[in-house]
Amino acid sequence: MSEDVGFAFELETDSLSDSLGKLLPRRALYIVTGEIGAGKSLIAQRLAYGLVANGVRTTMVTTELTTRGWLEQVNSLGYTLSDEADSGQFTLLSRFGVISDEVEDKVDIESILSSTALQSSDISIIDRASTILGHYDGNPDQLLSRLRAFCAEERSLMLLLDPDEITPEMMRILYASAEVAIEMRTSEIGGGLSRILAVTRFLRAAGPVQPRIGWRVEPSMGFIVDITAVS
């Protein structure tokens, strides 16, 4: 079960928890940024699986995949969540439904935050939230007030954002106000792709926070901390 000071996401298969503060803080806003392909969805899937494994009620909202497609993707990583979804410990929502019934025009951040699933979860993750924030483009302060009201009631919220999809002012306000701010970075080194999880803020951490975490993903093994990726 989750502890009073935060939510555990530790797994025996990797050391991410040891490098990333041990627990995710309660009543907090988490921001994960990065361009398409930088690994935002992968880290969100790893965290969701770890949270559920530690008894944290978790909801994942995907704006990119069907529920079936999302479950198949995490299954390929070794993160099987089908039983937890059936039991209610984990809730998966998609704007595409189970197969491909898109309802994009009816989906916005307000309707998602007001849903029963998010209201009753300990942590909710929205991937990619930047595609559904258009209503607040001219008033990012109002958006921040809404997010804070959501998190005030013993809930935490993680937003995955592509900086190219929202205004610089909105990005600045969200990034500056989040308790946890992570940037997913990629670079080419020696002909290979280096992936870095850069932690720019982590308030109320229960353990050490490594500012740069190298990582890779392997089929059936999932997220792996790569100590050779950071010099």
CATH number of domain containing 62: 3.40.50.300
Quote the domain boundaries for residue 122.
6-225
Q: How far apart, in whole angstroms, are the C-alpha atoms of residue 22 and residue 81?
A: 22
The pLDDT assigned to 104 comes to 46
- The tally of domains found in the chain comes to 1
**Residue 194 in domain:** yes
Q: Is residue 227 pLDDT above 90, yes or no?
A: no
Is residue 112 scored above 70 in pLDDT? yes
In a domain, 1, yes or no: no
154-204 pLDDT, tens digit each? 899 999 999 999 999 999 999 999 999 999 999 877 767 889 999 999 999
What does pLDDT average to over the chain? 90
For the entire predicted model, the pTM comes to: 0.91
Q: Residue 75 half-sphere exposure, CB side, CA atoms within 13 Å?
A: 10
Residue 103 scores a pLDDT above 60? no
- Residue-level length of the chain: 231
Q: What is the mean pLDDT of residues 98-126?
A: 79
Residue 137 lies in a domain: yes
Residue 113 has pLDDT above 90, yes or no: yes
On whether residue 230 sits in a domain, the answer given is no
Identify whether 89 is part of a domain.
Answer: yes
> How many separate helices (H) and strands (E) can be counted in the chain?
8, 11
Which tens digits make up the pLDDT trace of 36-53? Answer: 889 999 999 999 999 999
User: What pLDDT shows up at residue 2?
Assistant: 43
Phi, psi of 196 (to 5 degrees): -130, 130
